[in-house]
Amino acid sequence: MLTIASRCWLCQCPLHLAVQGICSLCLKHLPPAPPYCPRCGLPSAGGNLDCGRCLLKPPPWDALIFASPYEPPVSGLVLRLKFSNLPELDTPLARLLLLRWLARWRSGNLPRPEVLLSVPLHQKRYFSRGYNQSELLARPLARWLHCQYLPGALTRDRQTVSQQSLTERERKWNLRKAFTCHANLRGKHVMLLDDVVTTGSTVREIGKILHNQGVASLQIACICRTLQK
């Protein structure tokens, strides 16, 4: 008798390896991303070159890698991980991100990270949810990338209003001085992981802190990237 853990999360077909979570057929038919800027992840016709937005105002990171645009079916899996108490979705989603990262890394324009960080939740939200979905995603990814994961390196020091209902300008103000980095990462190649990047306000705020520390490079990794802006 096959359990749900032994079936594809999308089509429910039996899996040869349960840890994969998503079958090869569903993986093949995931919606492709349009041409996008390798630095900010937003649509761009520039191929492997930074888009005009990044040239005029570079973000405080060097590359952004995402597994899927924020659209079904992957967006639905992320929502189930966050709000339906299904932490077992962490490994299938982290594997999707690993595959995208490997494709970028093989092209030769990404350093292998030495340190992996995850975007933290405020303590009250962590206790109400029971886990930090970004932390769950980071643990298998760090193991596969053979890099050090520092779960306590970043803290969210004050409880902020939910970002979902805010404009981009409001998101920036909402996150001002909300994070602290407790590790010395000077000279390190760092990956910062979040589940979804929408406007980029959260990773931008943390990126500024890490940039001021003098990290050698910073790459943002997320399961989904919202492509409309």
Question: What pLDDT is attached to residue 58?
Answer: 96
| Number of domains within the chain | 2
Neighbours of 128 (CB within 10 A): 9
Residues 6+ apart with CB under 8 A from 172: 201, 204, 205
**Statement to judge: residues 93 and 176 lie in one domain:** yes
Specify whether 47 is located in the same domain as 3: no
Tell me, what's the pLDDT at 6?
84
CB atoms within 10 A of CB 13: 12
Residues shown for the chain = 229
Spans in the chain with pLDDT lower than 50: 1-4
Asked if 14 and 122 sit in the same domain, the reply is no
Whether 19 and 130 map to the same domain: the answer is no
Residues 116 and 9 in one domain: no
pLDDT of residue 162: 59
The pLDDT of residue 211: 96
Same domain, 59 and 149: yes
Q: pTM for this structure?
A: 0.91
Please tell me the predicted confidence (pLDDT) of residue 80: 97
Each residue of 16-25: pLDDT tens digit?
777 689 999 9
Same domain, 82 and 171: yes
Say if residue 173 is in the same domain as residue 192: yes
pLDDT of residue 2: 43
Q: 3 with 96, same domain?
A: no
Residue 173 belongs to a domain with what CATH number?
3.40.50.2020
Please give the residue range of the domain that contains residue 24: 1-30
Model pLDDT, residue 3: 46
* Residue 9 and residue 105 share a domain: no
Say whether both 23 and 109 belong to one domain: no
Indicate if 105 and 214 belong to the same structural domain: yes
What is the per-residue DSSP string for 51-105?
Answer: PHHHHHS--SSSEEEEEEES-TTHHHHHHHHHHSS-GGGHHHHHHHHHHHHHHHH
Residue 63's closest CA among 40, 90, 46? 40
Question: Mind listing the pLDDT tens digit for each residue in 42-95?
Answer: 999 877 899 999 999 999 999 999 999 999 999 999 999 999 999 999 999 999
